[in-house]
Amino acid sequence: MNLTDYLPVLNKLTESERTLLSSSATLRTYGKGEIIHGGNAQCTGLILVCSGQIRAYTCSADGREITLYRLFERDICLFSASCMMNSIQFDITLAAEKDTTVVIIPPDTYRKVMNVSAPLANFTNEVMASRFSDVMWLIDQIMWKSFDKRLASFLTEESKIEDSDTLHITHELIGRHLGSPREVVTRMLKYFADEGMVRLSRGTIVITDAQALEALSAEKY
């Protein structure tokens, strides 16, 4: 495996810095549903996604989940190594949504190189800023978008991810993604079905009017 394929900034580092990062990196494989990183008590390290799909989410005190963002092939997660960032505490869990292979670079090694390498420090800041933008976008959605529009947006995005109008997903799992009770999801999906936008069956949602869903998700209010 060529680590540079997943971390292009390595080309800007010295040979000794590249060697240190590459020699410390480990390849791990996780099955669907396995936890890759488990909250702020754990400092897993920098995670590079080689294949598969990862859900990054956080939990409330009462156990309610909400998805912060997803990670796909060649994506990078730094929040799983937040212990190496001064003054940053971010309680986040990473779970494999599909069979997933990742490269993990230990936080101590990554920080050691980052402290002496301007290219790696700049790259790290850019990745962190991008992830914070994802979280801020989510906060904006929660604060200003009604649930029907958020659900329509989720279904539209899920259809694009799976490249299919048939989604094999439960109402409970959608609720965990959106931070809403299953009953709220069920009521809104029934409304979508009555409007002809989806067709429902056990564990499956078929999008029957993608244009209507997209139009609803695009509405500002």
Q: Are residues 20 and 121 in the same domain?
A: yes
Q: Are residues 107 and 212 in the same domain?
A: no
Q: Which residue, of 99, 126, 143, is where some domain finishes? A: 143
- CATH code at position 190: 1.10.10.10
Q: Are residues 42 and 134 in the same domain?
A: yes
Scored b (16 or more CB within 10 A) or e, 168-205 reads ebebebbbbbbbbeeeebeebbeebeeeebbeeeeeeb
pLDDT tens for residues 115-125?
999 999 999 98
Q: What value, to the nearest 5°, has the Cα angle with vertex 196 and ends 191 and 201?
A: 75
Q: Are residues 103 and 36 in the same domain?
A: yes
Q: How confident is the model at residue 17 (pLDDT cuts 50, 70, 90)?
A: very high
Q: Are residues 196 and 130 in the same domain?
A: no
207 or 3: which leads in pLDDT: 207
How high does pLDDT run on average in the chain?
91
Domain span at residue 198 reads: 145-218
Q: How confident is the model at residue 66 (pLDDT cuts 50, 70, 90)?
A: very high
For range 143-171, the mean pLDDT:
95
Return the minimum-mean-pLDDT range out of 19-33, 62-76, 87-101.
87-101
Q: Are residues 13 and 117 in the same domain?
A: yes
Q: What is the pLDDT of residue 1?
A: 67
Q: Could you tell me if 58 and 93 are in contact, meaning their C-beta atoms sit under 8 angstroms apart?
A: yes
Q: Are residues 209 and 102 in the same domain?
A: no
C-alpha dist (Å) from residue 200 to 11, 126, 169, 210, 217: 50, 41, 11, 14, 19
pLDDT tens for residues 38-54?
866 568 889 999 999 99
40 or 205: which leads in pLDDT: 205
Q: Are residues 50 and 158 in the same domain?
A: no
- CATH code at position 29: 2.60.120.10
Q: Are residues 122 and 27 in the same domain?
A: yes
